[in-house]
């Protein structure tokens, strides 16, 4: 879920050392970027705001893996700038999803429940697959725990989308879609705000701290 402020099992401070770990991060980046596009386009075609809201987390996680691969190990100033950019993108996207949810609530056409549920199941499979792949590389209790908590939150978001699809199917109403979208968008906006706050705090540090890795 958008609660993974630092990626599922990635560390923004240290660059990934082993080639196998780097390869796993590239795969995680590709899967998350791909699922972002699938949920965004699928959400548009199926008329589901919840799918678009769930795409928010894939976007944030893809950004985390990109940061882990490209920016980790650089000076703090670059890591903080990358985090600031990520936070601002998440807030913009979350705001757009929230706006879309309100628009849909006023128009009121129910989404295509089957397509919505199928993409939700695919998203769940993608998150579980990536979590299992990354879990093999984690060492230490704290790391294991962060992969576990973050992946569990992502899975809860995916299950909420599938539950909303079932709700739409059962009731013929668009409300389950809007409600789940609203919750996921709110979590995304909250997560984005936390990231921006932390990044701005880091960028306000004295120069010699900012130039340090």
Q: Are 147 and 67 in contact (CB under 8 A)?
A: no
- Residue whose CB is less far from Zn ion, 39 or 57: 57
How many Cβ atoms sit within 10 Å of the Cβ of residue 149? 14
Stretch that binds Zn ion, among 2-10, 45-53, 139-147, 204-212 (CB under 5 A): 2-10
Which range of residues in 14-22, 52-60, 118-126, 176-184 is near Zn ion by CB under 5 A? Answer: 52-60
Q: Give me the count of residues in the chain.
A: 213
Among 39, 54, 57, 177, contact with Zn ion (rule: CB under 5 A): 57
Give, as ranges, the residues between 71 and 100 that touch Zn ion (CB under 5 A): none
How far is Cα 98 from Cα 70, in angstroms, rounded to an integer? 31
Least distance from Zn ion to the Cβ atom of residue 182, Å: 18
Residue closer to Zn ion, measured from CB, 113 or 189: 189
Cβ at position 10, least distance to Zn ion in Å: 11
Listed ranges 35-43, 61-69, 158-166, 189-197: which one lies at the site for Zn ion (CB under 5 A): 61-69
How open is the CA angle 193-191-194, to the nearest 5 degrees?
Answer: 40
Q: Which of 39, 54, 61, 177 binds Zn ion (CB under 5 A)?
A: 61
Q: What is the DSSP letter of 16?
A: P
By CB under 5 A, tell whether 154 contacts Zn ion. yes
DSSP 8-state code for residue 111: -
The closest of 195, 168, 13, 9 to 94, measured between CA atoms, is 195
In three-state secondary structure terms, 155 is helix
**Applying CB under 5 A, which residues contact Zn ion?**
4, 57, 61, 154
């Amino acid at each position: 879920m958008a609660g993974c402020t630092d990626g599922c099992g990635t560390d923004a401070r240290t660059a990934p050392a082993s080639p196998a770990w780097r390869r796993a991060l590239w795969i995680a980046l590709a899967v998350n970027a791909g699922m972002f596009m699938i949920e965004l386009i699928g959400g548009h075609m199926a008329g589901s705001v919840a799918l678009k809201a769930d795409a928010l987390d894939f976007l944030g996680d893809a950004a985390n893996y990109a940061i882990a691969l490209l920016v980790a190990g650089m000076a703090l100033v670059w890591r903080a700038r990358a985090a600031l950019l990520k936070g601002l993108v998440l807030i913009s996207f979350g705001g757009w999803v929230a706006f879309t949810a309100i628009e849909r609530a006023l128009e009121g056409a129910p989404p295509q429940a089957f397509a919505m549920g199928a993409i939700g199941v695919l998203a769940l499979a993608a998150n579980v697959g990536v979590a299992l792949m990354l879990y093999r590389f984690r060492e230490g209790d704290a790391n294991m725990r962060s992969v576990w908590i973050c992946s569990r939150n992502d899975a809860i978001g995916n299950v909420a989308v599938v539950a909303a699809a079932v709700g739409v199917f059962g009731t013929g109403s668009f409300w389950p879609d809007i409600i789940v979208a609203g919750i996921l968008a709110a979590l995304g906006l909250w997560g984005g705000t936390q990231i921006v706050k932390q990044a701005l705090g880091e960028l306000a540090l004295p120069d010699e701290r900012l130039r340090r890795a």
